[in-house]
Amino acid sequence: MMANKTIYFSHSDERYIEGTLPGLSMSLSAALMAGYRLLVERQQATHDGFHEIQLRVGKDGVYRHKIFMGRKIYRTIVKDKAALREQRVYLTQKGRYVYYERNSADWNYWPTGMQRSTQANDNPATVKQWGRMEVVDTIDELAAYIPERAVQNLQQSLEQPVEHLDI
């Protein structure tokens, strides 16, 4: 059996709790433990090298943000004349892999101070911007998105993520 504990709150905290607790559909004790667990899990994830990742996914000006705990393990940028395509892979806290790809204008492609051209090829605003995300369970499944050599390098690096050097 667990002992009872007395927790003291400031008056400003008490007003906040009274205003929000009814909407949580749980006791104050359950709410405090849920918050405490979340805090401990987040700190453990940070200690293990994971942090909150926010990705913008969508196209044609309609985007959603996808948020998860992860660690970036791969990134490359492919230039295609006026556009940049960035590819990233994240390892999630739950051991899955997130592939993220986004396309955006390469602002270095156009000279600074350039007047907007009427020709589609000469206007950075005409570059289609988009972002997409795929979640896979294994490194091998990433071969559908990134070069095979990159997949092999990821496999090797994750087998021994830390190398202790005696130098």
Give the side-chain half-sphere CA count within 13 A for 158: 20
Contacts of 65 (CB under 8 A, 6+ apart): 54, 55, 56, 57
Give the side-chain half-sphere CA count within 13 A for 27: 3
- Taking residues 103-130, report their average pLDDT: 67
Q: Residue 1: is its pLDDT beyond 70?
A: no
- The chain-wide mean pLDDT, for the chain, equals 86
**Would you list the domain boundaries of the chain?**
11-47, 51-159
Burial 111-150 (b: 16+ CB within 10 A, else e): eeeeeeeeeeeebbeebebbbebeebeebeebeebbeeeb
Q: What is the pLDDT of residues 136-163, one digit of tens each?
A: 999 999 999 999 999 999 998 888 766 7
According to the per-residue pLDDT averaged within each range, which of 43-52, 61-70, 81-90, 115-124 is highest? 61-70
Q: Place 60 in a pLDDT band, splitting at 50, 70 and 90.
A: confident
Prediction pTM value:
0.72
β partners of residue 91: 71, 97
